[in-house]
Amino acid sequence: MKILRIVLQITAFVFVFGYPSKMDNHVNIFLSKKVSITVNKSHPSYVAYDAVNIKRSASVELNKQPLRVIQLSTDIQEESEVLNHFHPLAKRMLLNPIIIKKDVEVFDTQAVNENYIRHTNLEDIQSGATQVASPFLDQKNWVAEFKPYFRKKVQEGAFSANWTQGSGNGNPNMGAVKVAAAVKKAKDSFVTFGPVSTPIGSSKNFAPQRKPTAEEVVVEKSGYASASATFDEGPSANRIVGIFEIQKGLLYSNEDRIEIRRYEEGVFREKGSINLHDSTYEIFPNDFKGFLLGRMIDKYGKIKGEGVVRVSDSLTKQKGTHQGPKITLVVKSDVNGRAVSSYNINNKNALSQPAKASIFQGQMEKPVGKNGLIKFDNIVKNSPTNLVTETKGHFAAQQIILAGENFSMELIPEKMGAALKQMVSDLKQQNFNDPNLSIVMGKVTFDGQPVSGVSLKVENENELEPIYFNSLMLPDTKLTTTSENGYYAFIIEGGDLITLMALRGDKYFGHINTVVSPGMSSFVEIKNTIKTESVEIKVYEPFTGAPEFSDVALQGQQDTITIEKGVGEAQLPYLGRWSFLYSNPSDKYLPAHYTYVENSDYIYVPVVSKEWVSYLFSNSKLTLYPGTNLVFGFVVDEDFEVDVPGLDQIKNHIVYFDYSGKPTNRGTQGGGFALYNLPEGVYEPLVFGTQSQKIYSRIAPLKTGDVFIFTYKLDGSI
């Protein structure tokens, strides 16, 4: 009996002290062994146990003691920290997962005026689909996200190009300046600058254009006006996975971050993610247009390095998962290239003597070491400029380069150049020893490899013949095409911008534009590639964004492209090559020359009306000389200043206008400038961005009566 009583007492004791109890709706479980808690990365538990309470007695002294805590970050506690109690009725509990959700409220963004630029696909417009405003912008803040000049347009309400009142001091009722244009058809199959524009004629009965109806404005601006808002269009069924690499002296630290984004027409779209361990990136684009931009940014927000590839470089336009192009991040430098002496092509040191390089007609100059590396910063991508490099014992060399494109420049030693002139003089029985004669030397390549069997000519100069080099790199008058090394040379008079055409048989192979100056050398490589890309051409009225008609001739393209409703397409070689375009629009607009880069996604062709040109100069009380040259520039992203190296008293040759086309006293965002009464010559109109502190450049080879129109954008679209 005594034994039974002892057993019952022990059983009661174990039951009382071993059974789990509830206090304040929390289950307190006593642990008798070590605790190990594992967390699954894919489905982490939010809270496993807040603490484990060890109850010894109900005494006040013990209640005052701190509770022992088992840290979740520790897999195994020391034995001394856990009391070994026997709890036969303790049970394992699985806590429900805690899900954190964010309720997203979607606003239907409505346009407050008929000219709101909606984000709509061109296909929707052409098919007549109902246009829906983007739901991804907050209804209260979407106007604030526009850039200042677009925001001003929206706040002003309906906008139309009304030039009856200007912001200048001129009289708007003054007689119109005589402005017009005669158009010639291209005589040559391969267009360099297009037909030569003739002096502008007369325009009478000036009156502003009628105000477009609401329906017309919505369709026109939706399809063709430049986008300015920056937003992500939401999830996409397209997935791009690719490799990124860091090289060429770029160092990554824990304080840096790497971003991958798609941008199109200067607007950032989707943001991707990266995997540093695998050196891969992933992004879900809504479209296959535009570029992928990778950037390494330090903790201060400064860009240390970047790499850009075209989205369509290795993709098809089918939905799904794609292997993306490799993005290589390198140390950021806007102009990056190398100069090398013809004597040192295969040597470690590119130059035997230090050199100096200059751009913008000497406005920016930098020393060049024996490694030949040339770097300039703070220049907008795709800005063309004529680079001049000088070093002792060599002809001063020049070459048109593009910011953002790597280049190589070959310098011809003076002895080698003199020997070349003498050899050509002996072979052709003519005197080519004049020191003012220029040497234009280069080679023809296809995807980087020399090409034989290619003939060359200077466009519109049939009397100029090249000299070709044989396999021993000696000039040979018996050769009528390039040999296996692809080299050629012209000895010609300088002082102009010329175009070299390369033909294989009677078929176009390639072209290159270069400046030729007296007594200097130019090295030009004529490239071709098997890879082509489709490029959109946008023809529009710059002040309303309305699509317009134009016949467009592109350099190197045999056929003229007719653009009926503002948007056309051209299939171009995927090369970073600077080329010319000629636009022949309807009668109320000026025929004009433009420039473009062939590996761009878009080519912008803003057409200016003769009525507006007449209004601009009459309102400003300016006089245009007969046969004057005109250069118009539209600056999209920021306030600006303009300079033209080599042009004295620029204030006597420039007038500014705002986003609506009215004259102003300075360069403002969304507006532009007009240069007038310029002498013939090769000019580089420079734009200095007041916010970005960067330089945009363009090249305009002007002849009598020429009209050039440029677009300046921070993303490099020209």
Name the pLDDT band for 71 (thresholds 50, 70, 90): low
pLDDT tens-digit map of 644-685: 998 888 888 999 999 999 999 999 999 999 999 998 999 999
pLDDT of 9 > 50? The answer is: yes
Residues 690-711 have a mean pLDDT of: 93
Place of tokens 């600056």: 635
- The pLDDT assigned to 466 comes to 93
Q: Which of 30-44, 201-215, 293-307 has the lowest mean pLDDT?
A: 201-215
pLDDT of 7 > 70? The answer is: yes
Q: Which of 285-294, 334-343, 501-510 has the lowest mean pLDDT?
A: 285-294
3-state secondary structure 497-523: EEEEEEEECCEEEEEEEEEECCCCEEE
- The pLDDT assigned to 549 comes to 96
Place of tokens 């080679």: 443
CATH class for the domain made up of 170-186+535-718:
mainly beta
- The pLDDT assigned to 38 comes to 55
- The pLDDT assigned to 490 comes to 94
Residues 244-266 have a mean pLDDT of: 85
pLDDT of 547 > 60? The answer is: yes
pLDDT of 465 > 60? The answer is: yes
pLDDT tens-digit map of 396-438: 999 999 998 889 999 999 999 999 999 888 888 888 889 899 9
Please state, for a pLDDT cut of 70, what percent of the chain lies above it.
Answer: 68
pTM score: 0.67
- Rounded distance, CA 341 to CA 393, Å? 10
Q: Which of 113-127, 361-375, 466-480, 636-650 has the lowest mean pLDDT?
A: 113-127
Q: Where are the domains of the chain?
A: 18-101, 170-186+535-718, 239-331, 335-528
Residue 323, Cα to own-chain centre: how many angstroms? 22
Q: The sheet that has 561-563: what strands, in order across it?
A: 561-563, 550-554, 578-585, 592-597, 707-712, 630-635, 672-676, 654-657, 663-664
3-state secondary structure 679-695: CCEEECCEEEECCCCCE
CATH node for 239-331: 2.60.40
CATH node for 335-528: 2.60.40.1120
SS3 at position 173? coil
- The pLDDT assigned to 152 comes to 60
pLDDT tens-digit map of 567-620: 999 999 999 999 999 999 999 999 999 999 998 888 999 999 999 999 999 988
C-beta of residue 513 within 8 angstroms of C-beta of residue 579: yes
Average pLDDT of the residues of the chain: 76
- Rounded distance, CA 593 to CA 553, Å? 10
Domains 239-331 and 335-528 in one fold: yes
More confident residue, 572 or 714: 572
Closest Cα partner for 111 from 270, 222, 276? 222
Long-range contacts of 533-536 (CB under 8 A, 24+ apart): 533/310, 533/312, 533/571, 533/572, 533/574, 533/599, 534/569, 534/570, 534/571, 535/569, 535/570, 535/571, 535/572, 535/598, 535/600, 535/601, 535/602, 535/603, 536/567, 536/568, 536/569, 536/601, 536/602, 536/603
pLDDT of 513 > 50? The answer is: yes
- The pLDDT assigned to 203 comes to 31
Residues in contact with 634: Cβ distance below 8 Å, sequence separation at least 6, in sequence order: 542, 606, 671, 672, 709, 710, 711, 712
- The pLDDT assigned to 255 comes to 86
